[in-house]
Amino acid sequence: MVTVPGFVLRRIYVRGSLRNTPEGFEFSLCNRLASGYARQLLPISVNGQETDIRHCYFYAEEVRHRFDEVTRDTPFALAVNKATVIAVDGETLTAGRQTLGMGFEVPGLGILKFDFTDVVADG
């Protein structure tokens, strides 16, 4: 099975997009690699601690979807050069550097994971 290294996947994270919101925190992904989709999303991790998947969301065409609603029949699509916002409710990030992780199951590739480090943006 083909694997995609984390340093390649890390390129989809939009640096500087990590910020707290009234509901929790969010960041953006922008796929610059190739169109693809996932049939499962794994919970976001913050500094090595996994969040509750029921509180993880993504926006597709301005509609909010929970991570645990992603299935073979309702996949998570990541189009090329289109930003996607990822949000986690109920948890805010402290000031300073944060390391977040994300993973997904991609048909033909299996589970792909990557992490990124950034500083929470003001406002």
CATH code, 79:
2.60.40
Answer with the residue of higher pLDDT: 3 or 33.
33
Across the range 107-116, mean pLDDT stands at: 91
Answer with the residue of higher pLDDT: 4 or 80.
80
- Give, as one character, the DSSP assignment of residue 7: H
Q: How big is the chain by its Cα radius of gyration, in Å?
A: 14
- Give the confidence band of 2 by pLDDT, cuts at 50, 70, 90: low
| pTM metric for this prediction | 0.92
Predicted pLDDT at 70: 95
Domain that residue 72 falls in: 6-118
Tally of domains in the chain? 1
Residue 9: φ, ψ to 5°: -65, -35
Predicted pLDDT at 111: 92
Predicted pLDDT at 59: 92
- Please check whether residue 1 lies inside any domain of the structure: no
- Please check whether residue 29 lies inside any domain of the structure: yes
**pLDDT > 70? residue 1:** no
| Closest to 52 in 3D by CA, of 67, 32, 33 | 67
| Closest to 9 in 3D by CA, of 109, 119, 121 | 109
Tens of pLDDT, residue by residue over 20-50, are 999 999 999 998 878 889 999 999 999 999 9
C-beta of residue 15 within 8 angstroms of C-beta of residue 79: no
Across the range 1-18, mean pLDDT stands at: 83
